[in-house]
Amino acid sequence: MSFIDDMKIGKKLIGGFVIVLLIMAMIAAYGYMSAQDAASRSKVMYETNLAAIDKMGLVSADFQQMRAEIYRYIYVPAARSAATTTIDGLKASIRANIDSYSNLDLTDKDKAALNSFETNYATFITEYDKTIKAADANDMKTVDAQLAAGSPLITSRTNAVAAYKEIIKLNQDNAAALNKASGDAAAAAALYMAILSIAGILIGIGVALYMARSITAPIEQVGKNLKELSNGHLGNRLKLSRKDEIGEMAAVMDQFSDDLQNNVIGTMKKIADGDLSTELKAKDIQDEITPALMTTTNSLRALVSEAGMLSKAAVAGQLSTRGNADKFKGGYREVIVGINQTLDGVVAPVNEAMRVSGEYAQGNFTARVDEKLNVQGDFVKFKEALNNVGIQVSKALTIINQQVGDLAASAEEANASVEEVSAGSAQVAKNASGVSVNAEKATQGVEQVQKAMEDLSRTIQDVATKSELVAKIVQDTTNYSREGMELARKTEQGMQGITKSSNDVNQIILEIKAQMDKISEIVNLITDLANQTNLLALNAAIEAARAGDAGRGFAVVATEVKSLAVESRASAERISEMIDNLQKQTLSAVDAVSAANTGVKEGSAALHETLTSFNNIVTSIDKISQNVSDVAAAAEEQAASVEEVTASVNEVGGLMQNTTREATDAAAASEESSAAIDQITKVVANVNTIVDKVTKEVSRFKC
Amino acid sequence: MTKSTGDKGDSATPAGPAPVVPAEQAVPGKTGSRTGGKLQVVEFLLGKEHYAVDLFDVREVVEYTSITQLPNTPSYMKGIIDLRGEITTIIDLKERLNIVEKSSQPIENSRIIVLDEKLTKAKTGILVDDVLAVSTFEHGDIDSTSASGAKDDAAILGIIKKKLKEKEQERNELIIWIDIRHLLADIGQG
């Protein structure tokens, strides 16, 4: 099927559509033919069969009327002329219908039936006319004979009717046959149409799928390749053998990939590796890639040659050579300018260093690197190092000068000292005998110290004795304090007893108070009763008064009851007053008891304080006791120290005697030292000579 | 009044000739129960002063009981109580007579004088501080003229002079005899 791939896409699409259209046209043509077929059948049915039936229907109707008219003609003589006209019209009508029927496209059967009808009809008309004539002649016998069954008239009439019925029946059969044929044809047509349609749809889908695949598959391939290209993968090629537009597109893309991979990227790789020898030519005026590559190559070449020139000049020591930055643009220009600046930065310090080194070589160490020279980075260290050489050498020379001067002075001083030592030795000898005398005097002093020590020892003994006495007194005091504390404690117990008793008293008083409250309640009850009685007496008095004479005796009783009630109330009130007084007194008793309680509490607190004071006294005495013990211990320590001092003084006495002996030895030694000093004087003279020489040499350097 | 056996100061004195006091004769209020020159009264206390009403206007004396107050009534209409199943209207007589003085006793100790039914349409009692006695006085002990200076509204029938023997000395105690019918007529009870 490669010829399809080679076709242009437009042609492919048109070809597909044409195939589909052809299938549709076939289906339409078949449908049209079927429709035409059906139409022709319908026409036959309408034109032949329906017309025949129609004509024969009219013939039948006319024929029947003729049959009826003859009876009217025979039996209604008045209407004969009208009947004659009608019969003639009917005859003409039948004739016309038969004729028009015979003109139709008739089958053989139709024609046979028509002939049968014509024959019978002719006979019928003849007999019919005979009958009419007989009727005209009033020959009723003939008429009756004609009208009787089996007569030629009736037979021919029956045959004629049978004939045109036969015709009608034939035509109906024909129409039914045609109808059936049409139905069969329609069913067949529907089936074929369906088969054709399905076949057409399947073919159309097949064509569409194939064409779609033949277009989209290569386009997807191209798309994939473009994606690869965009990712920088240049090794892929499509290599499609098609000749349509997609094939052309693939071929161009392969060529572009080749170009990109071999020329552009190849060249760029070479440039990256430092190979600038590649020469390329632009493909046409609009090519941008190749000229850009060539510009890059040229710029790099110029840069390389400029850099090479500069480095060669620098190696040859031509420090004044500089690169030409005007030949370059942008970053390349910055490279050349940078190299120039580097050279400037290096050359100036080097020149200055050369100058300063020259000065140092002349012995002038005061020379320094020019402060105005602008240096940075490592050159600062370089500059400082150079300056330092000058500074340090100057400093060293100065120090050497000074030291030599000092040495000269020291040598002179040594000379003088040696002389003094000589004199000193003589003095030592003289002093040694003085020491001997003094040592003896010291021995006497030591003896006096020993005596004083013994006195001190005695005094310390006294202190110890007195300390013991104090300790005893302190012990007694402690005992008295303890007794005081004991007494205070007993007193406190007594106080607690008092508190308890007063609490009991309080309790009893409270009980008395409760009892009195109860008495008060009872008195209130009595008062209440007295009031009630009083009220009753009043009401009794009112009742009695209202009763008049009859109530007079009762009134007296009521009055007496009332007076009793009043007395009861008065007594109750008096009791109440007494109880109130008692309660007041009870309250003051309670107050007194609580006051006593407060006093006891205060006493208790005071006792506590007393106890605390005693405790403090005991603590203080303990401290005193401790201090006295410390004093005794200190006295003993002093005694020990005095003994040690005595021992030391004795030792000093021994040492003094040694001193006397050694002073004598010293006098002898000093004489020996005088000889050694003479030797030293000679050495010092040699040193002086050497110092003079060194001074002369050093003065040559400037510093 | 033949004698005043009142060393307790408040004793009724039914002694002497028969007073003969038919209740029907007491109806004309002015004369009260004065018959044969004698007057029987119930003495009671309002604040510090002693007052009296005609005995035959009194039904009984009862103790104070809690009073149910009625809304929208004059201030002297103290309220109502249930007295043995009967609703009894209570009039505060001190309020009615504009006596400002308060009693030294708590209100529970006050008394209610229930009035005779023939005086009032509804059963009525008057609230007083205390009821002292039922007493009988001679006509001569009553001074009707001294009260005439007071307004008619005061409803004072007269001043009764009650002789008292106190520490062997006689002195008169003044009792204000008031016309309870008149007062009740003002209220609309009469």
Of B10, B23, B109, the CB nearest to A546: B23
pLDDT tops 90 at residue A299: no
Average pLDDT over residues A188-206: 88
Residue B12 lies in a domain: no
- Residues A144-153: tens digit of each pLDDT: 888 887 788 8
Q: What was the pLDDT predicted at A279?
A: 78
B22–A541 C-beta distance less than 8 A: no
The CATH number of domain A381-698 is 3.40.50.360? no
Give buried/exposed letters for A501-518 (b at 16+ CB in 10 A, else e). ebeebbeebeebeeebee
Decide if A544 touches B, using CB distance below 8 A: yes
- The CATH number of A2-222 is 1.20.120.30
* Residue B105 included in any domain: yes
Instruction: Determine the pLDDT at residue B5.
Output: 39
| Per-residue confidence band for B152, with pLDDT thresholds at 50, 70 and 90 | low
Nearest to A440 by CA among A658, A630, A616: A658
ipTM confidence: 0.75
Number of domains in chain B: 1
**Rounded mean pLDDT, A276-290:** 80
Percent pLDDT > 90 in chain B is: 31
Whether the predicted pLDDT of B125 surpasses 60: yes
Residue of B nearest to A540 (CA): B60
Put simply, the chain A residues between 558 and 587 with a CB less than 8 A from any chain B CB are: 558-559, 562-563, 566
A601 CB contacts (<8 Å, ≥6 apart)? A499
Q: How confident is the model at residue B188 (pLDDT cuts 50, 70, 90)?
A: low
**Which residue of chain A is at minimal alpha-carbon distance from B22?**
A548
Cβ–Cβ gap A546/B133 under 8 Å: no
Could you read off the pLDDT of A541-575 as tens digits, one per residue? 998 888 888 888 888 898 899 899 999 989 999 99
Of B23, B55, B111, the CB nearest to A542: B55
Confidence of residue B80 (pLDDT cuts 50, 70, 90): very high
Nearest to B58 among A531, A542, A549 (CB): A542
Taking an 8 Å cut-off on Cβ atoms, the answer to whether B8 and A556 are in contact is no
Instruction: Assign A410 a pLDDT band (cuts: 50, 70, 90).
Output: confident
Residues of A in contact with B111 (CB under 8 A): 535
pLDDT, average across residues B11-29? 40
pLDDT for residue A261 is more than 80: yes
With beta carbons less than 8 A apart as the criterion, state whether A340 and A325 touch.
yes
pLDDT beyond 70 at B17: no
Contact A134, A147 (CB under 8 A): no
Question: Do residues B19 and B40 make contact, with C-beta atoms less than 8 angstroms apart?
Answer: yes
Averaged pLDDT, B147-171: 76
Domain assignment present for B90: yes
Question: Inter-chain contact B11–A556, Cβ cutoff 8 Å?
Answer: no
pLDDT tens, position by position, A324-374? 888 888 888 888 888 888 888 788 888 888 888 888 888 777 888 887 777
> What's the rounded mean pLDDT across residues B121-149?
84
Q: How confident is the model at residue A243 (pLDDT cuts 50, 70, 90)?
A: confident
Does B74 touch chain A if contact means CB atoms closer than 8 Å?
no
The answer to whether position B17 is within a domain reads no
Q: Do A552 and B14 touch (CB under 8 A)?
A: yes
B22–A548 CB contact, under 8 Å: yes
Number of Cβ within a 10 Å radius of residue A461:
12
Closest residue of chain A to B18, computed from CA coordinates: A549
Q: Is the pLDDT of residue B32 over 50?
A: no
Q: Does B134 touch chain A (CB under 8 A)?
A: yes
Q: Does A552 touch chain B (CB under 8 A)?
A: yes
| Contact with chain B for residue A92, Cβ under 8 A | no
| pLDDT confidence tier of residue B36, bands split at 50, 70 and 90 | low
Report chain A residues whose CB lies below 8 A from the CB of B18. Answer: 548-549, 552
For the stretch A363-378, pLDDT in tens is 777 888 887 777 778 8
Chain B CB contacts of A542 under 8 Å are 42, 55, 58-61, 134
Tell me whether residues A535 and B131 touch, CB distance under 8 A.
yes
Residue B16 clears pLDDT 50, i.e. is over it: no
Please, are residues A87 and A73 in contact by the beta-carbon 8 Å criterion?
A: yes
pLDDT for B90:
94
Predicted local confidence at residue A150, as pLDDT: 78
Mean confidence (pLDDT) of chain B: 77
Domain contains B58: yes
- How far is the alpha carbon of A541 from chain B, nearest alpha carbon, in Å? 6
> Nearest CA to CA, how far is B68 from chain A (Å)?
23
Q: If pLDDT is split at 50, 70 and 90, which confidence band does B30 have?
A: very low
The nearest alpha carbon in chain B to A558 belongs to B12
Confidence at B187, pLDDT banded by 50, 70, 90: low
Q: How confident is the model at residue B96 (pLDDT cuts 50, 70, 90)?
A: confident
The contacts of residue A597 (CB under 8 Å, 6+ apart) are A499, A502, A503, A506
**pLDDT band (50, 70, 90) for residue B189:** low
For residue A500, count other CB atoms closer than 10 A to its CB.
Answer: 11
Nearest to A556 by CA among A567, A546, A545: A545
The dihedral over CA atoms of A451, A452, A453, A459, expressed in degrees to the nearest 10, equals: 120
Closest to A124 measured CA to CA, from A83, A164, A82, A161: A161
Q: What is the pLDDT at residue B111?
A: 92
Average pLDDT of the segment spanning A150-168: 84
Alpha-carbon span A419 to A648, nearest angstrom:
42
Give, in order, the Cα–Cα distances in Å from A550 to each of A264, A405, A497, B2, B180. Answer: 163, 172, 76, 20, 27
**CB–CB of A545 and B14 under 8 A?**
yes
pLDDT at position A56 over 80: yes
Cβ separation A545–B111 shorter than 8 A = no
Q: What percent of chain B has pLDDT over 70?
A: 73
Please name the member of A539, A558, A559 whose beta carbon is closest to the beta carbon of B60.
Answer: A539
B62 and A549: CB-CB below 8 Å? no
* B76-112: burial string, b at 16+ Cβ within 10 Å, e else: bbbbbbebeeeebbbbbbbebbebeeebeeeeeebbb
Q: Domain limits at B47?
A: 35-187
Strand ranges in A33-151 using DSSP code E only, listed in sequence order? none
Kindly report the average pLDDT of chain A as a whole number: 83
- Asked if residue B59 lies in contact with residue B47, where contact means CB atoms within 8 angstroms, the answer is no
Could you report the per-residue pLDDT of A649-697, keeping only the tens digit for each?
878 878 877 877 777 777 677 767 777 777 777 777 777 778 777 777 7
For residue A512, give how far its alpha carbon lies from the nearest alpha carbon of chain B (Å): 30
pLDDT at B31 over 50: no
- Do the Cβ atoms of B58 and A549 come within 8 Å? no
CATH number of the structural domain spanning residue B141? 2.40.50.180
A691 φ, ψ (degrees, to nearest 5) = -60, -40
CB-based contacts of A158: which residues, under 8 Å, 6+ apart? none
Interface test with A, best of B21, B57, B134 (most A CBs within 10 A): B134
pLDDT in tens, A428-459: 777 776 777 777 777 777 777 777 777 787 78
pLDDT of residue B146: 65
* Per-residue pLDDT tens over the stretch A36-48: 988 888 888 888 8
Taking an 8 Å cut-off on Cβ atoms, the answer to whether A538 and B131 are in contact is yes
Quick check: is B178 in a domain?
Answer: yes
